[in-house]
Amino acid sequence: MPMPASRKYSWENLRRLIGLYLIASSFAVVISAVFFTFGLDLTSEQGRIVLFRIAPLTLPVVLIIDLPLIVYLYWPIHAFFRDPAHAGPETMAKAMARAANLPMLTFLKTMVIHLPAALVPSVSLLLLSPKIFGIEFFPWQIAVATAMSLVVASWHAMLEYGLVVRYSRKILNRITSIIPDEIRNARKGIVRTASRQRMVLTALSLVVFPQVVIGGSAVYRFFQISEIAPSIPPEFFSHFGMWILFAVTIISGFSILIATMLARGFSEPVHELADSMRLVEEGSLGVRLSDVRFDEFSDLFRSFNRMCEGLEERETMREKFGKYMPPEVIEKMMHEDMHLGGSLMEISALFCDIRNYSYLMDHYSPQEVVLMLNDCFTEMHEAIWASTGVVDKHLGDAILALYGSPFKDMEHRKHAIEGAMGILQGLKRFNDRQLKGGRPPFKIGIGIASGVAMVGNIGSAKRLEFTAIGNVVNQAQRLQDLTKELGCTVLISESTWLLTQKLFDFEAMGPQRLRGQSSDMLVFSLGTPTAQ
Domains of the chain in sequence order: 5-192 (no CATH), 339-526 (3.30.70.1230)
**Which DSSP helix (H) or strand (E) runs through 315?**
helix 296-321
Residue 37 reports pLDDT greater than 70? no
187 vs 444, residue with greater confidence: 444
Beta carbons within 10 angstroms of residue 502's beta carbon? 5
11-20 pLDDT, tens digit per residue, is 888 888 888 8
List Cβ neighbours of 377 (8 Å cut-off, separation of 6 or more): 394, 399
- Report whether 492 contacts 479 (CB < 8 A): yes
List Cβ neighbours of 520 (8 Å cut-off, separation of 6 or more): 511, 512, 513
The pLDDT of residue 338? 46
Residue 463 reports pLDDT greater than 50? yes
The pLDDT of residue 434? 92
Work out the average pLDDT over 458-487. Answer: 83
Q: How confident is the model at residue 531 (pLDDT cuts 50, 70, 90)?
A: very low
293-323 pLDDT, tens digit per residue, is 566 677 777 888 888 888 787 777 666 555 5
State whether residue 409 is helix, strand or coil.
coil
Residue 429 reports pLDDT greater than 80? yes
CA torsion sign for 174, 175, 179, 182 is negative
Q: Residue 158: which of 202, 101, 194 has the closest Cα?
A: 202
Work out the average pLDDT over 210-215. Answer: 67
The pLDDT of residue 324? 46
List Cβ neighbours of 89 (8 Å cut-off, separation of 6 or more): 183
Q: Residue 360: which of 395, 396, 324, 391 has the closest Cα?
A: 396
- Range picked from 121-130, 180-189, 203-212 for highest mean pLDDT: 121-130
290 vs 109, residue with greater confidence: 109
Work out the average pLDDT over 76-85. Answer: 85
Helix (H), strand (E), coil (C) string for 210-276 = HHHHHHHHHHHHHHHHHHHCCCCCHHHHHHHHHHHHHHHHHHHHHHHHHHHHHHHHHHHHHHHHHHH
List Cβ neighbours of 387 (8 Å cut-off, separation of 6 or more): 403, 415, 416, 418, 419, 422
- Percent above pLDDT 90 for the chain: 18
Amino acid at 476: A
Work out the average pLDDT over 14-38. Answer: 78
Burial 44-61 (b: 16+ CB within 10 A, else e): eebeebbeeebbeebbee
The whole-angstrom separation of Cα 453 and Cα 468 is 6
Predicted structure pTM score: 0.51
Q: How confident is the model at residue 341 (pLDDT cuts 50, 70, 90)?
A: low
Q: How confident is the model at residue 234 (pLDDT cuts 50, 70, 90)?
A: low
The whole-angstrom separation of Cα 362 and Cα 508 is 36
- Range picked from 195-199, 348-352, 504-508 for highest mean pLDDT: 348-352
DSSP code of 84? G
The pLDDT of residue 530? 39
Q: Please provide the average confidence, as pLDDT, over all residues in the chain.
A: 79
Q: How confident is the model at residue 385 (pLDDT cuts 50, 70, 90)?
A: confident
**Which DSSP helix (H) or strand (E) runs through 63?**
helix 55-81
Work out the average pLDDT over 79-106. Answer: 86
Q: How confident is the model at residue 256 (pLDDT cuts 50, 70, 90)?
A: low
State whether residue 339 is helix, strand or coil.
coil
State whether residue 529 is helix, strand or coil.
coil
Q: Partners of 9 in the beta sheet?
A: none
Amino acid at 37: T
- Range picked from 118-127, 129-138, 505-514 for highest mean pLDDT: 505-514
- Range picked from 8-22, 200-214, 302-316, 471-485 for highest mean pLDDT: 471-485
The pLDDT of residue 435? 92
Q: What end-to-end distance do the CA atoms of the chain give, in Å?
A: 79
CA distances from 362 to 368, 430, 439 (A): 11, 21, 13
List Cβ neighbours of 53 (8 Å cut-off, separation of 6 or more): 125, 133
Q: How confident is the model at residue 462 (pLDDT cuts 50, 70, 90)?
A: low
